[in-house]
Structure 1
């Protein structure tokens, strides 16, 4: 099925798919899945789109909660992006997490759904302090690739592309993409779906950044440690989630309003 004929698109996952930091709490988050839905709607105005992603979701929560809701909507396209919240938890079992995601892909594929699943970038380049977690990301990505091959899902493999680990595509917390980053992810999925007008330009590196003095870099690191890492560690120790008491932003299939802006189209 080519992209212009998708009529029911459902996105499942965590905060990245919800769209954090592409917009804000007051005006609402846009995110790569919304942007992809806009691209699809330009090709087929009959498209209906739902986004079931909830920030903080673990792979098991996506499988147990979001998957059944997605299947009830009868989608012909589902994007799956989950697992990073598992990676950053104190205890991580790659086999278990990959097994949860494999069940998601298997269940969707068994219904004849076109599934797109993504790997994750090298977080060691985004956050040098997180380099010890890179083997976890590698193990998660390996399981995602195997699942995609096993069930015939479309794979967007972000890890090999250095551009996707460029800090300039991320918000201040270095976990969530900014508007330009979300546009790139949307372009990557559009390219994987072979939508007209999209190519591998999403892999192109950004222009070299001007050098910064050491004291400016040090100040940025201290600010990030205090403002982002501290609260994240605190939630992890308490077993809390940023998604507590939150629900999906688009729980039902609905038409897509195409934005007029094209400065971050990702093309």
Structure 2
């Protein structure tokens, strides 16, 4: 009976750990959505809410840390059980970083509300929706232990990178056309980069789900579509066409 009690207790702790991760994921996803809505509405109050909501995600991460350490110390899990605890610990760290980046988006939205609207901002919601969908899919994959769904979400991050690269070039061109665009475009660049980094952390979670299920890492090289590190942007032509290019 004692053994049964220990096993059931461990199962209950794992379920609680999974519930906290699921709650963190939902909060992080909602925080990103709120931040992007605040940006598009130029609503500083809504942006402030997104910043404040980050504290709850931080608190949940601390709960995961505490529970995971306790389980590792007292239960000494092995094999699949050990992967469950370690994956939860690492996933909570990625979700906490996602919350931080979403809060950064909201802070930039507050600053942008004080500047004139910029046309390239219309790309941000599309990037945000794409990243939100990836977050949702990797969390569903975690709950269901579905490695195939995790890999499918992992592969979609390349689209986010490509969208970021395109926006990066466009914003640099806007800044060269008119110095008055430099401040708002810089904020938009940081927002886009934060969203791109959220996508990276979502792919981290996908890799952890794959490891959780199979006990090994994804063998393929992580797809990357971000070429901004090699971007070369020249001033626009006399007719206003964009000469932004990238060294592939």
Give TM-score scaled by structure 2 length.
0.29
Task: Give TM-score scaled by structure 1 length.
Answer: 0.28
Would you tell me which structure has more strand in proportion to its own residues?
1
Structure with greater helix percent: 2
Larger Rg, first or second structure (1 or 2): 2
